[in-house]
Structure 1
Amino acid sequence: MDASSVTIGSEDIEIHKNKAEKIVQTVSIRKRRNLTSLTDEQTIKKIKTDFDNIVPEEENDENNIQQHVKRRKETVKFPKLYRLLHDNENVTEGLSAKSPNARKDVATHVATGSRRDYHSQYISTCASLEKAEYFRNLKLQSGYSWGMKHIAEIDVDGLPEKVEIIDLTTKPLKKKYEISDIATNKIFHKFAERHQEVLLVGTVPASCLKLIEFAGDSDVDTNGSDSEDLFDISNSSLINLESF
């Protein structure tokens, strides 16, 4: 065998070797591509799943607002309540009843009022600012000077859930709080209707209160038959002036 034949044979071997290496490289590249494609597809699916599970911030806000509105159903009827403040009450300190642990009935509280010797678990309020101002002017014209001039505006929706709201603004609502004393019931119905009374049981936090200061003018007319609110029908004594 001559040298040229040996050289040709070596070249053929080298060519086949190179082809084999290229085939291996091609197979490896294809495998990597397939693996990459599979990985990319899985990654895309995961990203899409994670994105679908994300709740937009605006949607979260809307849900929070809806839950907040539903927390106190009473806000539909009266978003605000109004209380004529005693001279020892301060909106920055919140409001509480004279005797939070008392067990007085609603009718007696409204009919006789929280006199200095009468303590109850109720905080009396009016369902409208007009009625609170009317009650204030009755008090001012009565000659009593208990410092009941300023009014607290109460944000009903902001009240804690544990604060009970007793709505006495309609006759059917008052009916279930009647007692066996007919005379007391009569006065109870009269005052609750006249002042659109709503009772609160529990502590009203300062965050729910806004002060409406007295301007010094009597802006509600109390002349006429309404002035009899100042007197108890049975004993002609001044009543219901401290019930708020």
Structure 2
Amino acid sequence: MNLLPLSPPGEPPVRVMTIAGSDSGGGAGIQADLRTFAMLGLHGCVAVVAVTVQNSVGVRAFHEIPTDIIAGQIAAVTSDIGISAAKTGMLASAEIIETVAHTWTSEKLTVPLVVDPVCASMHGDPLLHHSALDSLRNVLFPLATVITPNLDEVRLLVGIDVVDDASQRDAARALHDLGPQWVLVKGGHLRSSAGSPDLLYDGTGFFEFNTQRIDTGHDHGAGDTLAAATTCALAHGYSVPEAVAFAKDWVTECLRAAYPLGHGHGPVNALFRLRS
């Protein structure tokens, strides 16, 4: 695959930010985002919104960071270091979502924003209070350059069960009506397909991305990694379809290199790039 350009030694690389939760097992969340940022040659900044107690088997608990600290992290980084794009991951509560959205607008940020609407872990453990769904729909989505829900998140957000191409398109239309510029309905869980069909929609046209399905039980952090790679490509000036195409190739290679960890699901592996 073609990779993003690296900055010359001694020159500051392109900067991006992840606004998300910390994964104590290191497989997903901020840890996964930072691995992809680093392996693609970008400088990653963070705004930690929650700390999870989790491992390869599941999430045992999580603790929310005070909202003034969340807002302060975003403002401190963007006012000094500057960023070319950002992504969100686990945001945990309506109060945190509204804080992120308010800070984004009050800091007058206009860089691309990728919203990965994380609602639950891959084990089904909740990572978002149910009351926060309205805040995602009404407050954060209208600020997003692109949102990247999986099929479980689509069901929670717009009540559509995606079972085929037609329902995937219906879901994309319904999600776009909530205000984001672009919607990426991820089809990795669509078992009726031989591949991994993702559908991108901007309100007028559809773009289809269907990569090889990698047969592995070690896919922890795949959604975070896809959104992080999309963020990196947007920061380099790619269009949204180009960024998604790049990210699909990246996460496919990360899945191909995934490794076992602990007694549950191992993580996708952005470190594969070190071998080259």
Give the TM-score range, shorter chain: under 0.3
* Greater fraction of residues in strand: 2
Structure ranking higher on relative contact order (CA contacts 8 Å, 6+ apart):
1
* Greater fraction of residues in helix: 1
